[in-house]
Amino acid sequence: MTAVIELDGLGKRLGGQTVLDSLALDITGGIFALLGPNGAGKTTLVSILSTLMRPDSGSARILGHDVERDAARVRRHIGTTGQYAAIDEALTGRENLVMIARLLGLGTLDARRRADELLASFDLAETANRPVAEYSGGMRRRVDLAASLVLTPAVLFLDEPTTGLDPASRARLWDAIAARAAEGCCVFMTTQMLDEAEALADRVAILQGGRIVADGTVDRLISLVGTETAVLVDEAGEVRRTLGATGDAGALARQLAGLAEEDHRLHLELRRPTLDDAFLALTGQPGRTAARRDSREVAA
Ligand SMILES: Nc1ncnc2c1ncn2[C@@H]1O[C@H](COP(=O)(O)OP(=O)(O)OP(=O)(O)O)[C@@H](O)[C@H]1O
């Protein structure tokens, strides 16, 4: 399959330090999430891929077009937030989106229809007729995100798209991103939120110290740090016995058969390592999540 995004030995130094160290990557489609701690180089990579910054070494291609030599062609295929720095504060949210849609070639009626759809999906319908100058920071951010989705580009770059959004707006944006991907748009997003990567991404890579330290599906990354463990927990969810890895059914059966009578009231839980565990193991730093995932539970 032809790569939509291809990195080959891509390097970048900033402020005397190596920020991106000879990165190689092929992305063929779907939603790709780049995870990494603060300062890992995520924004730098997105800036290079969206032609806002030049690499120092190596190359990057979008749909076969080199981001340095064919920057104009690359720009025709990509969407990115912040690209409409021209959002006019004096115009209303609706007027801005209609204007951008018209600039992108939509007819008047289609532009209005698209603006209204986006205003509704970003919960801006009620404030659509107020000037952007009166919007809060979160509302401006949502207008900017809506602007990046006026057309569905072949490749959409989203740099920490949900930072600063409330949970409802965040959920709406997740839906909007998934909808674009379902239409065939390749989404390259950065995030520090592990649950965001887990909810959305077909593939996740962890960037640290300028290098990709892990790359694959969420399940693959989790499998790098171990398998499910069976534990017995009490009513309060406290682990009272650790039975061992679920891969050894015989050993588990023997342990269950040997349980003391009073332990029969405990619950058997299968504890799967989470993406948090994988992130911690791979980067040495705890990841951030907005919500924690549940382990599967059955009664003992
Ligand atoms: N213009 C610049 N001059 C010097 N150093 C820079 C510049 N821009 C970024 N850096 C440094 O490069 C490194 C990577 O920054 P970058 O913004 O790409 O990281 P990030 O992974 O996006 O971080 P965050 O999650 O905090 O946004 C950081 O150490 C940062 O201080």
**Domain containing residue 59: CATH number:** 3.40.50.300
How close is the Cα of 149 to the center of ligand 1, in Å?
A: 26
Same domain, yes or no: 118 and 250: no
Same domain, yes or no: 170 and 236: no
Distance from C-alpha of 97 to C-alpha of 103, rounded to nearest angstrom: 10
Reduced to 3 DSSP states, what percent helix, strand and coil does the chain have, rounded to the nearest 5?
Answer: 35, 30, 35
Please indicate whether residue 16, judged by its CB atom, sits closer than 6 Å to ligand 1.
no
Same domain, yes or no: 272 and 172: no
What 3-state DSSP class applies to 141?
helix
Same domain, yes or no: 100 and 195: yes
pLDDT at 297 over 50: no
Same domain, yes or no: 85 and 233: no
Please indicate whether residue 44, judged by its CB atom, sits closer than 6 Å to ligand 1.
yes
Give the residue, out of 12, 14, 47, 288, with the most ligand 1 atoms within 8 A of its beta carbon, to mutate for a pocket test: 14
Q: How many domains does the chain have?
A: 2
pLDDT at 19 over 80: yes
User: Across residues 143-149, what is the average pLDDT?
Assistant: 87
Confidence at residue 242, expressed as pLDDT on a 0 to 100 scale: 81
Q: Point out the ligand 1 atom lying closest to the alpha carbon of residue 41.
A: 18
Same domain, yes or no: 27 and 151: yes
How close is the Cα of 64 to the center of ligand 1, in Å?
A: 27
Tokens of 43: 């924004």
Confidence at residue 292, expressed as pLDDT on a 0 to 100 scale: 39
Contact by Cβ (8 Å): 235, 285 = no
Max CA separation in the chain (angstroms): 75
How close is the Cα of 15 to the center of ligand 1, in Å?
A: 9
Same domain, yes or no: 20 and 48: yes
Please indicate whether residue 285, judged by its CB atom, sits closer than 6 Å to ligand 1.
no
* Residue closest by Cα to atom 1 of ligand 1: 14
pLDDT at 36 over 80: yes
Q: Assign 289 a pLDDT band (cuts: 50, 70, 90).
A: low
Q: Assign 300 a pLDDT band (cuts: 50, 70, 90).
A: very low
Determine the residue type at 190. Answer: T
Please indicate whether residue 43, judged by its CB atom, sits closer than 6 Å to ligand 1.
yes
Domain endpoint, select from 198, 222, 246: 222
User: Across residues 161-185, what is the average pLDDT?
Assistant: 86
Note down the domain range covering 216: 5-222
Domain endpoint, select from 203, 222, 241: 222
Domain endpoint, select from 222, 244, 272: 222
Give the residue, out of 42, 52, 162, with the most ligand 1 atoms within 8 A of its beta carbon, to mutate for a pocket test: 42
How close is the Cα of 10 to the center of ligand 1, in Å?
A: 16
How close is the Cα of 42 to the center of ligand 1, in Å?
A: 8
What does 17-78 look like in DSSP terms, one character per residue? EEEEEEEEEEE-SSEEEEE--TTSSHHHHHHHHTTSS--SEEEEEETTEETTTTHHHHHHHE
Contact by Cβ (8 Å): 234, 266 = yes
Same domain, yes or no: 83 and 201: yes
Same domain, yes or no: 44 and 62: yes
- Predicted TM-score (pTM) of the model is 0.81
More confident residue, 58 or 264: 58
User: Across residues 100-113, what is the average pLDDT?
Assistant: 92
Same domain, yes or no: 132 and 87: yes
Lowest mean pLDDT among 47-61, 106-120, 142-156: 142-156
The single residue listed with the structure tokens 């064919």 is 70
Same domain, yes or no: 228 and 218: no
Q: Assign 123 a pLDDT band (cuts: 50, 70, 90).
A: confident
How close is the Cα of 41 to the center of ligand 1, in Å?
A: 6
Beta-bridge mates of residue 26: 6
* Residue closest by Cα to atom 8 of ligand 1: 14
Confidence at residue 205, expressed as pLDDT on a 0 to 100 scale: 96
Same domain, yes or no: 129 and 210: yes
Contact by Cβ (8 Å): 190, 158 = yes
How close is the Cα of 200 to the center of ligand 1, in Å?
A: 25
What does the chain look like in DSSP terms, one character per residue? ---SEEEEEEEEEETTEEEEEEEEEEE-SSEEEEE--TTSSHHHHHHHHTTSS--SEEEEEETTEETTTTHHHHHHHEEETT--TT--TTSBHHHHHHHHHHHTT--HHHHHHHHHHHHHHTT-TTTTTSBGGG--HHHHHHHHHHHHTSS--SEEEEESTTTT--HHHHHHHHHHHHHHHHTT-EEEEEESBHHHHHHH-SEEEEEETTEEEEEE-HHHHHHTT---EEEEE-TT--EEEEEEETT-HHHHHHHHHT--GGGGGSEEEEEPPPHHHHHHHHHSS--B-SSPPPPEEEE-
Residue 92 φ/ψ, nearest 5 degrees: -75, 170
User: Across residues 225-247, what is the average pLDDT?
Assistant: 82
Q: Point out the ligand 1 atom lying closest to the alpha carbon of residue 159.
A: 22
* Residue closest by Cα to atom 7 of ligand 1: 14
Distance from C-alpha of 12 to C-alpha of 45, rounded to nearest angstrom: 9
Distance from C-alpha of 246 to C-alpha of 252, rounded to nearest angstrom: 7
